[in-house]
Amino acid sequence: MIYILTACLVLVFLLFFTSYLLYRGVFYYPQKKHVDPYQIPDDMLYAPYKNAMLHLLHEMEQTPYEEVSIRSQDGLSLCGRLYLFRPDAPLMLFFHGYHGTFLWDGLGSFRFCRKNHINLLVVDERSHGKSADQIITFGIRECKDVKCWADYAAKRFPEKSLILSGVSMGSASVMMASVLSLPSSVKALICDCGYTAPAEIIKETIRSFHLPVSFCYALLHFGARIFGHFNLSESTALSAVKQTKLPILFIHGDHDSIVPPKMCDELYDACASRKKKLIITGSQHAVNAMADFDSYEREIMNFLKESGIKI
């Protein structure tokens, strides 16, 4: 009997420890792991656009901006940059992706906003850049940060129409936030390569590593609850778009190997509000603006005008 009990305790310990290791690997993102924005990797995502990205990155750094910060609902310092291109123009709020930076993911938004004289607030999401925390929650807490930023922008610029925009995790966070009590000045959402739910994108990633999906996800879900104190099932973009009244432009690359294009189709089909969809042919994950800026710009401009936003 003692051997069975010991074996059970060892098994429980191993499962607990494995859950912790997976939790640290997926959700924990300390400052020392943060990327240098000028070290753009030579991978299939960025290699075709590396020179263009470096040029835009330099321009983004050289363009005058104001550093801004707010407090999250749970008391964290959240930081961003405010680019004011025209006093009477709308303001776009941009949210980057997992392990990302607005200096990569936001280059398309910067180019678009600067060219069309739309003001831009780019955000360091929690646990990224200059913002506080070390835990990434795939949109669960980030969506509440989106609301905090929208509240800040509405209070500071009460006369401006607000546009919420995001890439990947930022896109999912924006969709999740769309059913929160956002300011009435939020007029539209631009959601680029967003996923349907935290659980689904994590399972998709596990599957890509040819690991047992149900087992690994169960350990990750447990780790998130025990060590991170958040529930991966608390909110989903898919459930949010079924309820939101805000118009949404969905953008996705048909060669996206990180967030499957079928997720864009699911979100679009489920969306209850006015909606449009732009599929960028041949584009990988999070580089749609780099792959076909002309289509990206044209569709966003048309969408904003159709949403009653004066440019």
Chain segment 31-76, per-residue pLDDT in tens: 877 878 889 988 888 999 999 999 999 999 999 999 999 999 999 9
CATH class of 34-197+236-306: alpha beta
Tell me what the mean pLDDT of segment 151-173 comes to.
99
**Among residues of the chain, what percentage have pLDDT more than 90?**
90
pTM: 0.96
Q: How confident is the model at residue 2 (pLDDT cuts 50, 70, 90)?
A: confident
Question: pLDDT at residue 226 above 80?
Answer: yes
- CA–CA dist 92, 223 (Å, integer): 35
**Are 276 and 301 in contact, with CB atoms under 8 Å apart?**
no
Helix H or strand E segment including 111: helix 107-116
**Among residues of the chain, what percentage have pLDDT more than 70?**
100
- CA–CA dist 147, 62 (Å, integer): 29
**What does the pLDDT read at residue 4?**
80
- Please state the domain extents for the chain: 34-197+236-306
- CA–CA dist 65, 82 (Å, integer): 5
